[in-house]
Amino acid sequence: MKKITVIGAGTMGNGIAHTFAQKGFAVTLVDISEAALERGMNTIATNLDRMVAKGSISEADKTETLSHLQPSTDLKAAAETSDLIVEAATENLDLKLKIFRQLSEFASENCILATNTSSISITQIAAVVSNPERVIGMHFMNPVPLMKLVEIINGYNTSAATTQTIMSLSEQLGKTPVEVNDYPGFVANRILMPMINESIETLYNGVAGVSEIDTVMKLGMAHPMGPLQLADFIGLDVCLAILHVMYDGFKNPKYAPCPLLVNMVRAGKLGVKSGEGFYNYAASKKAEVVADQFKK
């Protein structure tokens, strides 16, 4: 494993690319948008600057990390020479299937194809790929450079060799890989999203306010961040998409998204990324602190 391609220059994609590059891998960050690539590369540089300022890395480390990164809009050229491709595009099944059909055509048969999906079936994605035994889930947590967990999700056809390779590779990145099987939401979101959804239901039913709900969970349950704050950080649209995947997959009403969540997404109140969710990130100093604590 020497050459890595990461597809998608958004929050997860640039974080994954940053992490691989910091460990010395040659990384091509691919996106269809030049503007998205520029934003992604700028984000990586800014995060590295923050690490230098904190003394976590040296200026030389920053320069070396950036030297391992190459932005590109040419998926075919990047895929043809890659040992591993990590897809980190938007959490949309049709989009992911389109990308993996292209990867099946462009990448060598020995290239491992991983997806950073947080809920979509690995087996379903692998079904559009030749040699589906090389397809696996590699679910990083946000912010990727800091969070230790990687959920390694086996599809129905994922080979033991593929799993072992990705488990070992995750350890090389300084992560703790946890092997799980392919069911909607896997482990992390199967447990987390119902909690977030129930927190929204609690607000929706007038049991308590936003800060009160979050304070109970932070002080009473020792959570570092309240569930409504966390939902804002994840993105309310992402939370809604994951809940839809689980509801469709299990047909269990406990996964049905709260109407308040649905309406907030319809209104464009998506959390940190839109400037407003359960907190107002444009006006509230408290909200600004919440958003910033995950950048440390």
Q: Is 89 annotated as a binding residue?
A: no
Question: 177 and 197 share a domain?
Answer: no
Residue at a domain's end among 111, 146, 181? 181
Phi, psi (degrees; rounded to nearest 5) at 226? -65, 155
| Domain span including residue 139 | 3-181
**pLDDT the model gives residue 294:** 37
- Catalytic site includes residue 197: no
The CATH number for 203's domain is 1.10.1040.50
Q: Which residues of 116-148 are buried (b: 16+ CB within 10 A; e: fewer)?
A: bbbbbbbbbbbebbebbbbbbbbbbbbbbbeee
Q: Are residues 133 and 49 in the same domain?
A: yes
Q: Are residues 90 and 155 in the same domain?
A: yes
Encoded amino acid at 220, one letter: G
Is residue 116 part of the annotated active site? The answer reads no
Q: Nearest Cα to 138, choosing from 86, 197, 68, 190?
A: 86
Judge if 167 and 91 occupy the same domain.
yes
* pLDDT, mean of residues 127-147: 96
Could you give the CA distance from residue 60 to residue 275 in angstroms, rounded to a whole number?
35
Report the alpha-carbon distance of residue 8 to residue 44 in Å, rounded.
13
- Mean pLDDT, range 170-198, rounded to an integer: 97
Q: Grade residue 284 by pLDDT with cuts at 50, 70 and 90.
A: low
Q: What is the pLDDT of residue 1?
A: 87
Domain count, the chain: 2
Element (H, E) at 137: strand 135-140
Residues 109 and 12 reside in one and the same domain: yes
- Angle, CA 126 vertex, CA 120 and CA 130 arms, to 5°: 165
CATH number at residue 20: 3.40.50.720
Q: Are residues 118 and 207 in the same domain?
A: no
Is the domain of 226 the same as that of 248? yes
Alpha-carbon gap, residue 111 to 109, rounded angstroms:
6
- Of 119, 148, 181, at which residue does a domain stop? 181
Q: Across the chain, what does the average pLDDT equal?
A: 94
Residues 101 and 196 in one domain: no
Q: For residue range 217-256, list pLDDT tens digits in order.
A: 999 999 999 999 999 999 999 999 999 999 999 999 999 9
**189 assigned to active site:** yes
42 annotated as ligand-binding:
no
Q: Are residues 107 and 142 in the same domain?
A: yes
* DSSP code at position 97: H
Does the structure show a pLDDT above 70 at 293?
Answer: no
**Looking at residues 89-97, what average pLDDT do you find?**
94
Question: At which of 181, 196, 226 does a domain end?
Answer: 181
Same-domain status, 81 and 129 = yes
Q: Is 91 annotated as a binding residue?
A: yes
Catalytic pick among 82, 121, 139, 154? 139
- Whether 18 is a known active-site residue: answer no
- Residue in 27, 21, 7 with CA at minimum distance from that of residue 106: 7
The pLDDT of residue 286 is 52
